Structure 1
Amino acid sequence: MKKCRSLCMLFFVSFSLWNCEPDHKKYNLETSALLALTSTTSVPPGSSFKLPDANQTICYDTSGVTRACIGTGEDGEFTNTPAPFLLQIQDSGETILEESSELTWQRCPFGMVWTGSTCIGSSLNVYWQVANAYCNSLTTAGRNWRLPTAREASLLADHSQNTFLPNTYFPNGQGAGGWTSTPAVGFFGRYLVSSGGNVTPIDETTNFPFRCVSGPKAPNASFTDIGDGTIEEANTGLLIKKCAYGQADDSSCTGSASPLNWQQALDYCNNLNFASRTDWRLPSIRESYFISEPSIGNSNLPISIFPNSSQAAISWTGTTYNSTLSTAHAQMVYQMYVYSKTDSANVRARCVAGP
């Protein structure tokens, strides 16, 4: 019966949107502006949002061989940073709460049904407007639901395992990926989070799966120039080095950011003594989404605070890609890439400290 209701709702929403947009391509600026409002993020008074750890606890060298974490500067060395990644079953098993972010997730993606013990069926792929309308109309467990923002969707993957979502909490092998509400700046698209936790912009009329979220929205990045070559991000408590490796530490970050391989980037940040701090490191994949702001445009950091456009180049994170241990995540704008740890041609380093 639940399966029938789910599919009937999909048919109703799809039919309505089909009538509104016969060719699914006739967008205009007014429509784009209205849709962009769905990704406005704010934290209501009293919210205690904390950025959950990526949950990577094992460290790997450039060949993908395990090694002791102490002194490496890898993500695995910094457990529960800034806060633990904690999942809790709720609502008679239908939903999962991630405690640090305070986000509640559907246990089964759209198209699947919770039986009381597992998810059955198969997830369904739909275009963005259907996914958005469905989440906005969902009433499971008496909660208000929505499509997650790209930043929120990036908080769900568990980077301690290949499946990225633990089967205990998200059964039947369903991935973490799907549609988000965040507009892809520059064209009529939205950001899509892959099952591996990477974010990519995609046309809204492409069909993909999705999973709805409930709870207080994750905040936008909020930057303050401390005046000593560092920038503070208020929501995470992280300090960000204003200038990337290779740039001069002056008010304009003169020069070009220089590429490094992953081990070189780890060593650079791990050994950095700057602004009276020695606890510098590469950001984790989670933290990298909170030292960026996609609404800015083609650059993921505000030029007024992070001068010199070369700062937008792809930058390493300290998080190993668990499907291929000889690679690591790197970020450009609001997208996440995977590069070989030996790559020294394309990837740069920007260090963080704290919180």
Structure 2
Amino acid sequence: MRLISHTSLISAIALSGGLSAPLYAAEDLTYPLVDTMQDQCFDLAGEAITCPATGEALYGQDAQYTGTASDYTDNENGTVTDNVTGLLWQKTPTDDRLKYADAIGYCEALDLGGRTDWRVPSIKELYSLADFRGELLRPEEGEPTPYIDTSVFDFSYPEGQMAFAGQYWSSTLYVKGPVINGRNQGAFGFNFADGHIKSYGTGLDFYTGAPSTQSGLPTGDGQGAPGNFVRCVAGDSDVYGVNSFTANDDGTVSDAATGLMWQQADDGTRHEWKEALAYCEGLDLGGYDDWRLPDSKELQSIVDYNRTSIPAIDDLFEVTQDSETLDYWTSTTFGDIKSHANVIVFGLALSKSADQDEYMDWHGSGAQRCSINACDIDRPDNLVRCVR
């Protein structure tokens, strides 16, 4: 089992001759990524296994590459400091589900820990809290574990509702078009009960920002829009989650914000997960042979949520497939279905309800799903973009 911290990984590459100097000093990173904290390996049946050795099948899973571990300080005043990202978080979220506009107002009015500069976090800020040791179990299987560190953050499953209804708002609007159907505006959120990013209807019209008047979801004056929970954040909103890409003219792209180097073009082949792991482990590109399949947080870090067109990625990257097939593997297995892994969607996040015949961009480009999920389009094989 190979355990490499973010800082020691960069140093190890330099010492091995791969670089004459570290890519970036850890203290210079403006977008430091918190590790997913996944600490187990799994076989294709979803059974926990001893992590494979180098060269063995299924080597390269998330648990075999440990990045910067989460590090929180409970300030004992209702706030929690993330010592990796520098963000300050509300320890105990509101118990009420709020519509999007109400969530914005709630955070703006919050006076907590001697601060009044609270706001709804961006989706990249919110995702930094995701802890992929989580799992949502059926009652007969035991107690579920939320996808957040409950040793420092308060979290409770919604009473009288489905256990997986743990959706939290981000401030990141879906700018690439209406969600669900018709004219609905969407905003991304993360579900700390079931470990997914998706776009939720705000109850507002995508084109005007006014309350929706269409039939369907949401309906009328927005009363049909799903209310989500909110956990407010304080800190500089213009820094965390902002990339700093440079194309290296050797088939790679560096991100000075995260300290990661990326494969510039995917290889144009859809792989099953086992093959995807092996492909990245065997990749020799740009003079480097220490490539790996990215974990969920690493891959989500290069999503461009502000881009108004698909694919949701900077133009420096090359995409080889059409917009309906731009699902990319991560090395992170999905807690609820451990025989499957997470994917980040850079194209259409296709899904449908039980009574629909056609798939639609329900969850939004930039969603994080697992490779199989009820009602989603099936994803047995996906694209790959390796990282180092």
TM-score, length-scaled by structure 1 = 0.73
CA distance in 2, matches of 1:238, 1:106: 29
Q: Does 1:84 align with 2:69?
A: yes
CA distance in 2, matches of 1:171, 1:278: 42
CA distance in 1, matches of 2:326, 2:106: 36
**Structure 2 matches for 1:252-291, cutoff 5 A?**
257-291=268-302
1:272 deviation in Å? Answer: 1.2
Indicate if the aligned counterparts of 1:232 and 1:238 stay in contact, CA closer than 8 A.
Answer: yes
CA distance in 2, matches of 1:127, 1:224: 39
The residue that corresponds to 2:197 in the other structure is 199
CA distance in 2, matches of 1:322, 1:345: 17
1:308 deviation in Å? Answer: 4.3
**Structure 2 matches for 1:111-130, cutoff 5 A?**
123-130=95-102
1:344 deviation in Å? Answer: 6.6
How big is the alpha-carbon RMSD for the aligned residues of Structure 1 and Structure 2? 2.4
1:212 deviation in Å? Answer: 0.6
145-154 vs 50-59, greater mean Cα deviation: 50-59
Cα distance change of structure 1 residues 305 and 326 upon mapping to structure 2, 3 Å threshold: closer
Q: Does 1:155 align with 2:128?
A: yes
Q: Gapped runs of 5+ residues in structure 1?
A: 1-45, 111-122, 246-256
**Structure 2 matches for 1:210-289, cutoff 5 A?**
210-217=230-237, 218-245=240-267, 257-289=268-300
Partner deviation per Cα, 1:229-263 (whole Å, 9 max, x = no partner):
00112211111111112xxxxxxxxxxx2211111
CA distance in 1, matches of 2:289, 2:166: 35
Indicate if the aligned counterparts of 2:119 and 2:233 stay in contact, CA closer than 8 A.
Answer: yes
1:345 deviation in Å? Answer: 4.4
CA distance in 1, matches of 2:150, 2:387: 32
Q: How many residues align?
A: 282
1:47 deviation in Å? Answer: 8.2
Indicate if the aligned counterparts of 2:327 and 2:382 stay in contact, CA closer than 8 A.
Answer: yes
Q: 1:50 aligns with which of 9, 29, 32?
A: 32
CA distance in 1, matches of 2:305, 2:35: 21
Matched letter for residue 188 of structure 2: Y
The residue that corresponds to 1:182 in the other structure is 172
1:131 deviation in Å? Answer: 0.2
Q: 2:311 aligns with which of 278, 299, 307?
A: 299
The residue that corresponds to 1:325 in the other structure is 338
1:304 deviation in Å? Answer: 4.7
1:323 deviation in Å? Answer: 1.9
1:49 deviation in Å? Answer: 4.6
Cα distance change of structure 1 residues 106 and 189 upon mapping to structure 2, 3 Å threshold: same
Indicate if the aligned counterparts of 1:136 and 1:146 stay in contact, CA closer than 8 A.
Answer: yes
Cα distance change of structure 1 residues 271 and 305 upon mapping to structure 2, 3 Å threshold: closer
**Secondary structure, counterpart of 2:278 in structure 1:** helix
CA distance in 1, matches of 2:189, 2:379: 28
